[in-house]
Amino acid sequence: MGERDRRLRERAARVIPGGLWGHMNVDGFSPDYPQFFERAEGCTLWDVDGARYIDFMCSWGPVVLGHKHPAVEAAVDRQRALGDAMNGPAPALVDLAELLVETIPFADWALFQKNGSDATTACVTIARAGTKRRKILAARGSYHGAVPWCSPSLAGVTAEDRAHLILFDYNDIESLETAVKAADGDLAGIILTAFKHDYGADQFMIDPAFLARARQLCDAQDAALILDDVRAGFRLDLRGSWAPVGVQPDLAAFSKAIANGYPLAAVVGSDRFRAPASFGKVFVTGSFWYGAVSMAAAVATIETLRDDGVIAHTAAMGQRLRDGLAGLAGKHGLGLRQTGPTQMPMVLFDDDPKFARGNAFCNAALKAGAYFHPRHNMFLSAAHTPALIDRALEAAEVGMAAAAQVSAREMAAS
């Protein structure tokens, strides 16, 4: 651990419970993983001790064009010079809503928030208001946010908070049908992530037959099919991640990549849910939900994604990384599973339930200059070039050599 990072952690431990809340706490990683960063540019990160890394987390999803993308920064500068938090929104609000309605086929309207949890919760609220029913069906293990109705931790959550949540298994039609029966005529909606991207597990795509059945079940009861596209949105398909499958949700939540790192979330919906989402019906709002800078950033981000073919580029760079890692794993005789879309890779070693080999790989690669994650899916950006992927693969080679040193016994015991 670098000296400045160590000192900052010590100070933080005194004034911040546990040193840092939430998903960015590096507790459980090797101490070599920096907790604090000084700056970022493109897909390069500098920690507070001056070490430099090629970044494969992209701030855990938001940075899709690369840090400090010129078109986004120019839009931000223009809007900041005019005003950000004012007594009402700037014209950028309408520009952005129009852009989303134009880009996403099932979207007839849009509302904006700050975080993904705000957006998924607003979807649930609108679904309940629109159907006048209570039950929400969600897949076991899927993450929809850090709020009581869906938080993965039950600390501070009451049974009442979960009273109207029914779980089913993703891609399992029978399990979904059982959950619908359990809702017993009180079904408000079914919420599903774009694909299955759980922490520490192989990723898999949604089964089109399962999604079609979910659509049918919602139609039969006039309930809402909700797409949680917070993590995958604007990374797989600009029209929404289910566009290639051809099934349209009624409501969808977006955040993360929508504004290239500026804080913003969006709910879009079809006309079926326009009335309950309207002013005077549900009360969804927040002090910072009207900020103009993030909206200007989002317009510039989505236009750049659309005009520069970024999704194809990130998929190709992810494929280059995937091919390279597969080659290195083969060379070292290591079983590696690389799952999910290439632009959102999950990389896990075989027979490594406690991630001992994954940690060894990541720690050594980190020291050699590539910032990978041993358990969470990673993210590519427009700033990843073939040359940078190849440099990262050199670091990964060091990581694979370290991973090969971890014995089967250590993997079982750690």
Binding site for ligand PLP (CB under 6 A): 115-117, 120, 143-146, 193, 228, 230-231, 255
Min CB(271)–ligand PLP separation in Å? 24
Q: Which is nearer to ligand PLP, 255 or 260 (CB)?
A: 255
Relative orientation angle of helices 310-331 and 292-307, to the nearest 10 degrees: 70
Helices (H), 104-150: 116-131
Q: Which is nearer to ligand PLP, 133 or 235 (CB)?
A: 235
Residue nearest to ligand PLP (CB): 116
Here the tokens at position 264 are 């913003």
Min CB(377)–ligand PLP separation in Å? 9
Helix, strand, coil share (%) of the chain residues, nearest 5: 40, 15, 45
Nearest residue to 264 via CA among 234, 236, 237: 234
Q: Which is nearer to ligand PLP, 53 or 143 (CB)?
A: 143
Interatomic CA distance for residues 125 and 71, integer angstroms: 35
Q: Which is nearer to ligand PLP, 120 or 294 (CB)?
A: 120
Helices (H), 157-288: 173-183, 208-221
The residues, any chain, with a CB within 8 Å of residue 166's CB and separated by 6 or more, are 135, 136, 137, 138, 179, 182, 183
Min CB(344)–ligand PLP separation in Å? 10
Q: Would you say 85 and 291 are in contact if contact means Cβ atoms under 8 Å apart?
A: yes
Task: Report which residue type is found at 249.
Answer: P
Residue 39: beta bridge partners?
Answer: 46
Min CB(121)–ligand PLP separation in Å? 9
Min CB(214)–ligand PLP separation in Å? 16
E strand segments, 73-230? 109-113, 135-139, 165-168, 187-193, 224-228
State the burial class of residue 353 (Cβ atoms within 10 Å of its Cβ: 0-12, 13-18, 19+): exposed
Q: Give kind and range of the element (H or E) at residue 248.
A: none
Residue 166: beta bridge partners?
Answer: 137
Interatomic CA distance for residues 143 and 192, integer angstroms: 9
Q: Give kind and range of the element (H or E) at residue 364.
A: helix 356-367
Min CB(265)–ligand PLP separation in Å? 7
Interatomic CA distance for residues 180 and 166, integer angstroms: 9
Min CB(145)–ligand PLP separation in Å? 4
Phi, psi values for residue 92, rounded to 5°: -55, -30
Interatomic CA distance for residues 57 and 23, integer angstroms: 12
Min CB(345)–ligand PLP separation in Å? 15
Q: Which is nearer to ligand PLP, 217 or 252 (CB)?
A: 252
Min CB(266)–ligand PLP separation in Å? 12
Positive/negative CA dihedral, 210, 255, 118, 25: positive
Min CB(117)–ligand PLP separation in Å? 3
